[in-house]
Structure 1
Amino acid sequence: MLVKNAKIIMGTEEVMVDILIQDGKFVKVGRNLAEDLKEEILDAKGHYVLPGMIDAHTHMRTPGFTHKEDISSGSKAAIRGGVTSFFDMPNTDPATVSMEALEEKRNMYQGNSYADYAFYFGGTRFDNHEEVQKAAEETVATKIFFNVSTGDMLVEDDRILENIFHASKRVAVHAEREMVEKAIQLARKIKKPLYLCHISLEKELEYIREAKEIGIEVYGEVTPHHLFLNEEDREQTEETKLFLRTKPELKTKKDNEALWKALQYGILDTIGTDHAPHLLEEKKAKLTFGMPSVEHSLEMMWKGVEEGKITLPRLQEVMCENPANIFGLKTKGKIAVGYDADFVIVDEKDHSEIQQEEIISKAAWSPYVGQKRGCKVLTTVLRGEIMYHEGIFGKKRGREILKHE
């Protein structure tokens, strides 16, 4: 494949290039590659071409909750949103807390995903550190819940926490408020990389900044909904009081502003959607936490570029390059020779409203319906194969990333 007339970000510069792809890899990036003409030509028409998004925080609901989402519908929504790789969390049913459960999950995923994927492993209050150790090289991180979780995944015993940290290659945590500081201190003591999921409060940013200043390997993630939505949005109607409920909860406008600044200036490192779909009837029936988000993350985050809250080079860093670097994905996250040819073409001038009828997720709703997008995803390519182009999807060809790195 030859991609013509592509506007890419190199460092802080915008450059117009052609991109040559062979055997699913980028092999040349430069000007006037017509002499390398291939049978398949994709004309980007001067639009921006970014590396495929890497979403390091999703709940695709397979196994156990496939009426809300499944690997096929969730990965299709991801591809529609320009996300070519995602990591799935372990709080499924059964939870991914044993090697047996991990293998069962792998079998369910194989051949059923549109995007590439990797798995988290879960720690439990029953101290499964021996299983954690077995899974450490086969999963992106161990997920530990410090505050709240379903089933047996809330870990409160300090001895068990230390055992799981020791057994892990890297640790990702659901930690809020003072628990953020506790997780950081554990990471410092045991010398393990720490990934803090869905940071939502200005106060939590102080813990991260201080940790980075003294050299602790800690990374902060923020979700689009904690950037764009707040308590005022949630309290608007009786429906939004039910629909716009997440863990962590939405915070204040002041927190929104602090998170944006922290993302631009390096205190926060990644965008993770925490894609957590529930059906609307479930949200209406009882208080249920979580929202679908993966298919509009890039289109919404581009609004931040339009509004001057984040630069485009920084957006590419936090949605593509940083997740790959943090989690050790050697072939993902860049448009560069030798990397997987994962990329997305966007129309940066399309600010149309997000419509209900365009939703791909099985949850069939989005907190962003009715909002104007910052850009529109036109084309998503995975390892040199067009997976989405102007409403048409390719065949499922996603595979487990860590098995092929």
Structure 2
Amino acid sequence: MKKTTLIKNANIVNEGTVFSGDILIEGEFIKRIAESISPKSADVNVVDAEGKYILPGAIDDQVHFREPGLTQKANIETESKAAIAGGITSFIEMPNTNPQTTTIEKLEEKFKIAEKTSSANYSFMFGGTNDNLDEILKLESGQVAGLKLFLGSSTGNMLVDDPEVLEKIFKSTDMVISVHCEDEGTIKSNFKKYHDTYGDDIPIKYHPEIRSEEACYLSSSKAIELAKKTGARLHIFHLSTGKETELFSNKIPLKDKKITAEVCIHHLWFSDEDYEKKGTLIKWNPAVKKASDREQLWEALLDDRIDVIATDHAPHTIKEKNNVYTSAPSGGPLVQHALPAMLEMYHRGKITLEKVVEKMCHNPAILFQVEKRGYIREGYYADLVMVDLNNPWTVNKDNILYKCGWSPFEGTTFKSRITHTFLNGSLVYQNSKFSKEKAAKRLTFDR
């Protein structure tokens, strides 16, 4: 017998509106949405959402969960639990693990790990290199989220810097090609200048000068030029500069766009003014830049030149992060705090709830053609998040769920709290407690 849950008296945020209503869940799916639904039997689990808001589960299109090979920092089990607690019900994980996800065999190994240990729905990007085009051509587009190319700042051999290979990859697939854009030559030149002056202990405030606006814009504009030449479907990850926002358009609906962009939580929250206090804890690639860049990123997000908000969740141990500049790795953990941070921006009048849902739920589903997720619709999977907008809490060591045990948001008080997370119809998280139920599924794509 299918389990049945009825969510009553909710403020439902979906498809550009907020309305009061009930949601009936049967098995894994949303059966009915209406102003008022009465339970048909005593077996129905009724959840009262009076005064609270129901959002679709967020879809994070860029995470690094570090498994296999880097599990001292994080793993799929720990980070997916943190995601669920943060209202992220589906994630797309990146290929720069150890070994890298650049063969179909290694891709399938990651799917097997996630099948056993993930608390959230999952898929993976397949990594492109200068020499794995044959493997790319073997991919079934409905079985994988897309391709990831490092056009700068890669690990291992994942920097794709052969122009001929790059053009062949762009011509060879109709999948979304997601790219990290920073020009290596520019960065190396900038780094030498500062290293010659300071040695390894370069002050962190110079990180955005080393990984500069010029490095980002040069790489992004080249990628877009190639996408236009080849007709490829291009998605540029983690924009960090105002200048890059000029490269994108809001003239057509997202479903028809061939060139799209993402912005990450840290580039919307922090600026170079925060380096003095946060130090290498906010060292990311691309770098957090000026407050003026942050404002221009917000403008482009709100006028739909930028399509998606993601995390680029990339944990490192605190010991690693506390090293001098040249040894401190870039990246930080964010999946548990991304949605609360955006809800904080709602409280500050920066963004509407409807826009948060559009950028974190609807648009990733459209962009990657995720099947039956990202919306509150009858017939869709019941991935739902209940939020109390007036239940403040402060991020501290006791409530951080990341394996690395720290957060760039430590000490921050958020007004909004995620109280319940439903995954494929199962209540998997409630008031800081996780159920033992195994509900996560491999994402499928409508291609």
Instruction: Name the TM tier (shorter chain).
Output: over 0.9
Matches within 5 A, 1:272-351: 272-285=310-323, 286-351=327-392
| Deviation >6 Å, runs of 4+ | 210-213
| Aligned 8 A contact 2:73 2:403 in 1 | yes
Shift of 1:69: 0.5
Letter in 2 for 1:131: E
Paired AA for residue 442 in structure 2:
E
CA RMSD of aligned residues (A): 1.8
- For 1:171, the aligned partner's letter is I
Equivalent residue number for residue 5 of structure 1: 9
Q: Could you give the per-residue CA deviations for residues 235-280 of structure 1, whole angstroms, max 9, x where no partner exists? A: 23xxx32221010011011111111111111011111100000010
How many Å separate the matches in 1 of 2:231 and 2:335? 32
d(CA) in 1 for partners of 2:160, 2:138: 19
Distance 1:7 1:132, change over 3 A: same
State the shift of 1:399 in Å. Answer: 2.0
Q: Secondary structure at the residue paired with 2:224? A: helix
Percentage of pairs with the same residue: 38
Which structure 2 residues correspond to residues 3-402 of structure 1 after superposition, within 5 A?
A: 3-37=7-41, 38-126=43-131, 128-137=132-141, 138-168=143-173, 169-175=175-181, 176-209=216-249, 217-236=258-277, 240-285=278-323, 286-395=327-436, 396-402=438-444
Measured in 2, the distance between the counterparts of 1:267 and 1:332 equals 23
Q: Which runs of 5+ in 2 are unaligned?
A: 182-215
Structure 2 letter corresponding to 1:124: T
Letter of the 1:225 counterpart: H
Q: CA deviation at 1:293?
A: 0.3
What is the letter of the counterpart of residue 165 of structure 1?
F
Aligned-partner Cα distance in 2 for 1:148–1:83: 26
Q: CA separation in 2, counterparts of 1:348 and 1:210?
A: 30
* CA distance 1:403–1:397, shift in 2 (3 Å): farther
Contact 2:86 2:337 in 1 (8 A): yes
Residues 2, 42 of structure 1: 8 Å contact kept: yes
- SS of 1:45's equivalent in the other structure is coil
CA contact (8 A) 1:136 1:167 kept: no
What secondary structure does 1:200 align onto? coil
- Give, in whole Å, the separation in 1 of the partners of 2:98 and 2:39: 53
Asked whether the equivalents of residues 333 and 408 of structure 2 are also in contact (C-alpha less than 8 Å), the reply is yes
After TM superposition, give the deviation of residue 186 of structure 1 in Å: 1.4
The answer (yes or no) to whether the contact 2:130–2:159 under 8 Å persists in 1 is yes
Do the aligned partners of 2:250 and 2:303 also contact (CA within 8 Å) in 1? no
Amino acid at match of 1:202: G
Does the CA contact (< 8 Å) of 1:16 and 1:46 recur in 2? no
For residues 22-65 of structure 1, what are the alpha-carbon distances to aligned partners after superposition, in whole Å with 9 as ceiling and x for unaligned? 12100100022114455211111220000001000000111010
TM-score using structure 2 length: 0.86
Gaps (5+ residues) in structure 1?
none
Following the alignment from structure 2 to structure 1, what is the Cα–Cα distance between the partners of residues 386 and 246? 36
Structure 2 vs 1, CA of residues 314 and 367 (structure 1 numbering), >3 Å: closer, same or farther?
same
> TM-score, structure 1 length as denominator?
0.95
Deviates more, 1:46-55 or 1:36-45: 36-45
CA deviation profile, 1:57-103 (whole Å, cap 9, x unmatched): 00011101011100100100000000000000000001000111111
Distance 1:42 1:210, change over 3 A: closer
The amino acid of 2:34's aligned partner reads G
| Distance in structure 2 (CA, Å) of the matches to 1:216 and 1:161 | 21
Quick one: which amino acid aligns to residue 277 of structure 1?
P
Higher mean displacement: 101-110 or 243-252: 101-110
Q: Quote the offset at 1:351 in angstroms.
A: 3.1
Q: 1:10 to 1:281 in 2, by over 3 A?
A: closer
